[in-house]
Amino acid sequence: MIGPVYLVGAGCGDPELLTVKAQRLLRTCDVVLYDYLVHPNILLEVPEHAEKVCVGKRKGHHSSKQEEINDLLIHYSKKGCSVVRLKGGDPTIFGRVGEEMMALKKENIRYEVVPGISSAIAGPIYAGFPLTHRKLSRSVAFVTGSLEDEKEHVQLHLPEADTLVIMMGLSRIESLVPRLLELKKYVKTTPVMIISNATLATQSILVGSLNDILDKLAEKPMPLPALIVVGAVVGLAEKLNWRASLPLLGRRIVVLRSKIQGAEWVNLLMAQGAEVIHYPLLETRPNDQEKEKITHDLISSVSHIIFTSPNGVDHFFDGLFKQRLDSRHLMGKIMVVIGPKTSQTLQKYGIVANHIAKQHDAEGVLTMFSEESEGLTVLWPTSSKARPLIQEVLSSRMVEVIRLNLYSPQVPNTQSMTIQDGDGVVFTSSSTVDHFCERHSLDKVDSFCMGTVTRNLLQDYGAKSIITSQSATLSSLVDCMVAHYRELD
DSSP state of 277: E
Q: Which of 101, 167, 168, 193 is catalytic?
A: 168
Q: What angle do CA 361, 367, 370 make, to 5 degrees?
A: 150
Helix (H) or strand (E) holding 214: helix 213-219
CB 323 within 8 A of CB 294: yes
Q: State yes or no: is 35 an active-site residue.
A: yes
| DSSP calls for 141-171 | EEEE---SS--TTSPPP----SEEEEES-GG
- Number of neighbouring beta carbons within 10 Å of residue 148: 7
- Separation between Cα atoms, residue 397 and residue 408, nearest integer Å: 28
- Sign of the dihedral defined by the CA atoms of residues 79, 84, 88, 92, in that order: positive
Give how far Cα 385 sits from Cα of 128, 193, 357, 377, Å: 48, 53, 21, 22
CB 382 within 8 A of CB 403: yes
Backbone φ, ψ for residue 96 (5° rounding): 60, 20
- Separation between Cα atoms, residue 447 and residue 465, nearest integer Å: 6
Q: Which of 35, 90, 162, 423 is catalytic?
A: 35
Q: State yes or no: is 481 an active-site residue.
A: no
| Cβ neighbours for 389, distance < 8 A, ≥ 6 positions apart | 362, 363, 366
- Sign of the dihedral defined by the CA atoms of residues 415, 416, 420, 424, in that order: positive
- Sign of the dihedral defined by the CA atoms of residues 223, 229, 230, 231, in that order: negative
- Separation between Cα atoms, residue 125 and residue 104, nearest integer Å: 35
DSSP E strand boundaries for 287-326 = 304-307
Q: Which of 57, 87, 291, 341 is catalytic?
A: 57
- Separation between Cα atoms, residue 301 and residue 49, nearest integer Å: 43
Classify 96 as helix, strand or coil.
coil
- Sign of the dihedral defined by the CA atoms of residues 248, 250, 252, 257, in that order: positive
Catalytic residues: 35, 57, 168
